[in-house]
Amino acid sequence: MGAPSTMSEGTTQEPTALKRIPHDLAVALDPEAHDAHDRQWTPLKIIIWSAISLLGGLSWVMLAVVRGETVNAIWFVFAAICTYLIGYRFYSKFIEKHIVRPDDRRATPAEYKADGKDFAATDRRVLFGHHFAAIAGAGPLVGPVLAAQMGYLPGTIWIIVGVVLAGAVQDYLILHFSMRRGGRSLGQMARDELGVIGGTAALIATLVIMVIIVAILALVVTNALAESPWGVFSVGMTIPIALFMGCYLRFFRPGKITEISIIGFVLLIAAIVGGGMVNGTEWGQTYLLLDKVTIAWGIIIYGFIAAILPVWLLLAPRDYLSTFMKIGTIGMLAVAIVIIRPEINVPAVSGFATTGTGPVVAGTLFPFLFVTIACGALSGFHALIASGTTPKLIQKERQTRFIGYGGMLMESLVAIMALVAALSIDRGIYFAMNASPALTGGTVQGAVAFVNGLGLTGVNLTPSMLTDMATNVGEESIVSRTGGAPTLAVGLSHIMQQLVGGTSMMSFWYHFAIMFEALFILTAVDAGTRVARFMLQDSLGNFFPKFKNTSWRPGAWAATAIMVAAWGAVLLMGVTDPLGGINTLFPLFGIANQLLAAIALAVCMAIVAKRGLFKYLWVVALPLGFASVVTISASFLKIFSTTPGIGYFAQNRAFSEALAAGETSFGTAPSVLAMEAVVRNTMVQGVLSIVFVVLAIIVILTAIQATWNAYRKNSSATSEDDAVQSQTYAPAGFIMTPPEKVLQAQWDALPAEKKIKVTGH
Amino acid sequence: MTLWAGVRAGARGVIWYLKGLLGEDAYEKYVAHHAASCETDTAGLDRAPHPLLTEREFWRDQTDRQDKNPQGRCC
């Protein structure tokens, strides 16, 4: 095994050598029995699906048409879940039948390359959780919060419809295609399908995008921890806790992961409670009340050290904690929303959707809504995960629908809940928290004047609302706490305190939420730096062969330092930006993520075309077209717009001219130094936008060319690995269908010595 | 009695799931794989049978492999 992948120019005809019953029992369901079960609409099935459709329809009517004074949060949850169920049952099955065409007679890499370590068949339900934990992070929690300024409806529609038609399709296809290629990465698949130019552009784009994504995630956590002794203490304590866990697993009780995760979780809660005590002390106020720049430097230094330390010491244990917190908190929030059912008092579509003058993120609904909410609807970053670990762990081919498509639906549900949490807080408070300090002056008075001056109906902010909320959540101030994380934390604490603890518990819930987001982000920062470092070393190795050896310490440290310097520079730029940081940089994050999605979908399109499935090409072309239009037009606006609030170069010109005219303050920049910073920042951001869009256009064009060539040649080639006979069986979805139950029962009854047939080594 | 049995089965299920999710069952899976593949290994071919790693060695090897092959975490 482990032979280099072969480009077999075979056809997609069913490999006839594969047997459905290789030995004692069938390894795949009889296709006819399976289809018959799918087509058989029993009265019970009809009733269930009618009920789901009716409830979903009713929920959408409540959200989109009725629009009373307020709308109940439960309709968001119902609209989402019912739409997901319908999308999963009908659309993903359509894709499975016509494009993916899984064949359970074929062994998966986990079977034919089995090594008991990296390639190991994993129970589908466990792998679903595993995959979900790897794809869902801070992204789906932050984007929807920022997009809430446009009203609740645009974000809701994009998250729910986008995931069904685009995000989940991308994850599903990439996962399946990578699995059919022995777990090959997105970069390798791009080279195979798009050739050297497209493949190289995809690789560079991935590297640059990774830097941007890490930088902006770090910016979110910096904004959440600045001026917050409590947050600094509790998040800072995660480092010693993780080190302790790492040593425990290494030296004391290897492999006892659940045990140490529970101990770690208890310590984490203690750190949150301890943070509250530290917050009250003079010591805490003196040493832990840090400004943004200090925190940013802290994260940069931390990021470098964390990325060169061995995995067992910091990354692996924190990953366990993060998984634990993720599943727990998301479950808790779901239960709380269903029980509390908060009323939401926000217009369906706000004026900012059309004027593009929203203080949170600049720009009109099209295209900026679709880049502000990336994760949760369509996230290109998932393509890296879906072509990483997960395809090497899948037991049977038919399971990719549940894990790939289903896993993304779960992330989308998280995004909907984050949106609900952000919408449930008072709108005045929402804008006071998310408007940049350049607009509010960072003071309560300034924030009140700014928010009330926006002229929003039903919004009447008073200073005491802001100071009371700050006291309740245990912070100095909640004015201009941009980045989305603090807003989500206020929303979560607002919902949770109604369930547990009342107002006195709000500060605990707030810092619990901050801790939970910081954990994800720090893990993503550390892991992202490592992955980027390996990619850089791989590329540098083409010129300096020594860099290829990833165990060579000086090379590893130098490559790590370069990557940390790259994202650190963007982070510092965001932190010190006189224009506010998040509102200028966040669109770059979304654009980067969606461009990666366009690249992933372009690869999928080329694969589908080469297999000759032109009749169903629209399944991929539709989301690809949409992602391309959105990201390219957003990039063009960022590059060419003459409105300084939107176009980077327009902003650059405005400030340059002011400087040339000898002015000492301009717009929100109070000094010449600040004005020079704006000129520098906008230039960097503008150049990055150009790099992204050029790379993405190259990739998309090469994909279109590959598709066209395939069409002309009437191709039916495949770059898949050769089919290997499977010897095992497992059901496909979360719940077994009746035919699956019958077959599984037969396998369960089979004597153990006949069960395991391993072909790998 | 049946309720108690149900609770116990449920708790076992939750523990099984958690352990799987966090990857605690990796060593068991490795041992099972090793046991199954050894028969075919020693049955001939050119491959020398590789010795079973102890639990401690296995976990060290696992994190060392992660060091060499980092996996991204999503945003």
Report pLDDT digits (tens) over A77-129. Answer: 999 999 999 999 999 999 999 999 999 999 999 999 998 888 999 999 999 99
Task: Report the distance separating Cα A104 and Cα A422, nearest Å.
Answer: 44
**pLDDT value of residue A718:** 81
Chain B, residues 52-71, CB within 8 A of chain A, namely 55-56, 58-71
> Of the candidates A525, A534, A523, A530, which has an alpha carbon nearest to the alpha carbon of residue A203?
A534
Residue A669, classed as helix, strand or coil, is strand
pLDDT tens digits along A442-488: 999 999 999 999 999 889 999 999 999 999 999 999 999 999 999 99
Tokens of A757: 């047939």
**pLDDT value of residue A758:** 47
Kindly indicate the confidence band of residue A1, based on its pLDDT and cuts at 50, 70 and 90: very low
**pLDDT value of residue B38:** 66
pLDDT(A182) > 70: yes
What angle separates helix A506-540 from helix A229-247, to the nearest 10 degrees? 60
pLDDT tens digits along A152-163: 999 999 999 999
Q: Which residues of chain B have a CB within 8 Å of the CB of A323?
A: 21-22
Kindly indicate the confidence band of residue B49, based on its pLDDT and cuts at 50, 70 and 90: low
Chain A, residues 387-406, CB within 8 A of chain B, namely 388-389
Largest Cα span, chain A: 87
pLDDT tens digits along A709-722: 999 988 777 889 99
Q: Alpha helices, DSSP H only, in A62-149?
A: 73-86, 92-95, 109-112, 124-135, 139-147
**pLDDT value of residue A14:** 52
Among partner residues A217, A257, A761, which is closest to B75 by beta-carbon distance?
A217
* ipTM > 0.90 (yes/no): no
Kindly indicate the confidence band of residue A184, based on its pLDDT and cuts at 50, 70 and 90: very high
Contacts of A673 (CB under 8 A, 6+ apart): none
- Decide if A324 and B34 are in contact by the 8 Å CB cutoff: no
Instruction: Tell me the average pLDDT across A336-357.
Output: 93
pLDDT tens digits along A234-278: 999 999 999 999 999 999 999 999 999 999 999 999 999 999 999
Among chain A residues, the shortest Cα distance to B18 is held by A258
Nearest CA-CA distance, residue B4 and chain A, Å: 24
> Of the candidates A261, A235, A272, A214, which has an alpha carbon nearest to the alpha carbon of residue A519?
A235
CA angle A86/A88/A91 to nearest 5° reads 80
Instruction: Tell me the average pLDDT across A344-348.
Output: 92
**pLDDT value of residue A670:** 86
Q: Does A523 touch chain B (CB under 8 A)?
A: yes
Q: Does B41 touch chain A (CB under 8 A)?
A: yes
Contacts of A150 (CB under 8 A, 6+ apart): A349, A350, A352, A353, A358, A365, A369
Tokens of A738: 């009746």
- Decide if B20 and A126 are in contact by the 8 Å CB cutoff: yes
Among partner residues A250, A531, A756, which is closest to B72 by beta-carbon distance?
A531
- Decide if B63 and A311 are in contact by the 8 Å CB cutoff: yes
Residue to substitute from B29, B57, B75, interface A, most A β-carbons within 10 A:
B75
Q: What percent of chain A has pLDDT over 70?
A: 97
Kindly indicate the confidence band of residue A6, based on its pLDDT and cuts at 50, 70 and 90: very low
Kindly indicate the confidence band of residue B45, based on its pLDDT and cuts at 50, 70 and 90: very low
pLDDT(A13) > 50: no
**pLDDT value of residue A550:** 85
Minimum mean pLDDT range among A207-211, A579-583, B13-17, B68-72: A579-583
- Decide if A388 and B20 are in contact by the 8 Å CB cutoff: no
Helix, strand, coil percentages, rounded to 5, for chain B: 70, 0, 30
Q: What percent of chain A has pLDDT over 90?
A: 79
Burial class (CB in 10 A: 0-12, 13-18, 19+), A340: middle
Task: Report the distance separating Cα A491 and Cα A643, nearest Å.
Answer: 33
Nearest CA-CA distance, residue B8 and chain A, Å: 18
Q: Which residues of chain B have a CB within 8 Å of the CB of A123?
A: 20
**pLDDT value of residue A11:** 44
Task: Tell me what the pLDDT averaged over chain A comes to.
Answer: 92
Q: Which residues of chain B have a CB within 8 Å of the CB of A125?
A: 17
pLDDT(A752) > 80: no
Minimum mean pLDDT range among A117-126, A325-334, A620-629: A325-334
Instruction: Tell me the average pLDDT across A133-147.
Output: 92
Chain A, residues 528-587, CB within 8 A of chain B, namely 528, 530-531, 533-534, 550-551
- Decide if B67 and A310 are in contact by the 8 Å CB cutoff: yes
Instruction: Tell me the average pLDDT across B56-65.
Output: 91
Task: Report the distance separating Cα A342 and Cα A421, nearest Å.
Answer: 9
Tokens 């992961």 — which residue?
Answer: A257
List C-alpha distances in Å: A314 to A224, A245, A345: 22, 8, 43
Amino acid identity of residue A509, one-letter, is: W
**pLDDT value of residue A126:** 94
**pLDDT value of residue B48:** 52
Q: Which residues of chain B have a CB within 8 Å of the CB of A206?
A: none
Nearest CA-CA distance, residue A469 and chain B, Å: 28
> Per the confidence metrics, is the pTM higher than 0.90?
yes
